[in-house]
Amino acid sequence: MNEVTHQRIKTNGIWMHIAEQGTGPLVLLLHGFPEIWYSWRHQIGYLAKHGYHVVAPDMRGYGDTDSPLCPTSYSIQHLVGDLIGILDHFGEQKAFVVGHDFGAVAAWHLSLFRPDRVKALIALSAPYFERSSSTRDSESVRRIFSDGCYVYQFQEPGRAEKSFARYDYLTVMKKFLLYNKTDYLVSPPGMEIIDYLETPAVLPPWISEEDLQVYAEKFEESGFTGALNYFRTIELYWELMGPWQGSKISVPAKLIVGDKDIGFEILGTREYVKGSVLKSLVPDLEVVILDGHHFIQQEKAQEVSDEILSFLRKFST
């Protein structure tokens, strides 16, 4: 079987780096914050071996993909446009879409905006949330979590970049990728979130120093501004999403989440996922809860790979 290959393609006005392997139905693997295509290293070969054409891009602003300077170039409409461009590049009318974290947000909205281009979607660590009809998302974040919340701190241009610069890139990656507490990322008053996060002395078995160095080297090349710009579009998201208020996700979907994920433990998310509200927004939904944390496709690589494959096979011809 072919090894992973790399190329840059033109899509939606930017050059996007993709890693790909295999032949067959197209599967997009979309990473989140703060990652690159490499976060899918376990799933790429596994899905390719089972008969799929797997494409894992560096998302807009990450890795070897272009990183526009203006935060408004990171709207959810831009992200979905990038994905449509990938499908068009390969001449595919439809694809399977798998996303983690912000990549899951992109997958949900690709399915919302263009269900005609999605066979089925799998979201990891991020359920679908409907836009509030009355309260802007940034206002909600600040009211609930205070100024110490990482989402709030990341919205101010340059603030996080300045605080991150006090550490080497490998340390920054360790602080975020290895965070395993159930407390939300909120620092005490007057403290930046990067200073609040601990640097683990011992690595968990699911990631190596070499793996972390891959991330660190790419962020050293690209910087963090592109990745942080996703957070700086929260206001824009609320403004642009009005036309889809009340819309449902009509494509078949599967949500995979770790039971110790910080996002699963706060604000009633566990009850939301298990209850009827999410099901009303995503009628054709299957939910799988695994023993794990936020970066579940790396921590529980084989379990997640098997869950993805079993779902894809339901809709593969």
- CATH architecture, domain 5-314: 3-Layer(aba) Sandwich (3.40)
Query: What is the pLDDT confidence band of residue 139, given thresholds at 50, 70 and 90?
Result: low
The tens digit of pLDDT for each residue in 183-195 reads 778 888 889 999 9
The tens digit of pLDDT for each residue in 3-18 reads 999 999 999 999 999 9
Residue 141: pLDDT over 60? no
Structure-derived torsion over alpha carbons of residues 215, 217, 220, 224, reported in degrees to the nearest 10: -10
Segment 178-184 shows an average pLDDT of 79
Which one has a higher pLDDT value, 228 or 263?
228
- pLDDT, residue 71, reads 95
The tens digit of pLDDT for each residue in 287-302 reads 999 999 999 999 999 9
- pLDDT, residue 188, reads 87
For CA atoms 269, 231, 29, 168, the dihedral sign is negative
The tens digit of pLDDT for each residue in 65-89 reads 999 999 999 999 999 999 999 999 9
Structure-derived torsion over alpha carbons of residues 250, 253, 19, 105, reported in degrees to the nearest 10: 70
Instruction: Give 214: exposed, middle or buried? Use CB within 10 Å, 0-12, 13-18, 19+.
Output: middle
Domain regions of the chain by residue span: 5-314
- pLDDT, residue 145, reads 59
- pLDDT, residue 132, reads 78
Q: For residue 293, what are the contacts with CB-CB under 8 A and spacing of at least 6?
A: 179, 180, 258, 260, 261, 262, 299
Give the catalytic positions in this structure: 101, 294
- pLDDT, residue 137, reads 56
In this structure, what token pair is assigned to residue 143?
């009211």
In this structure, what token pair is assigned to residue 34?
């703060």
Strand blocks (E) in the chain? 5-11, 14-21, 26-30, 53-57, 95-100, 118-124, 253-258, 285-290
Instruction: Give 77: exposed, middle or buried? Use CB within 10 Å, 0-12, 13-18, 19+.
Output: middle
CA distance 60 to 120: 22
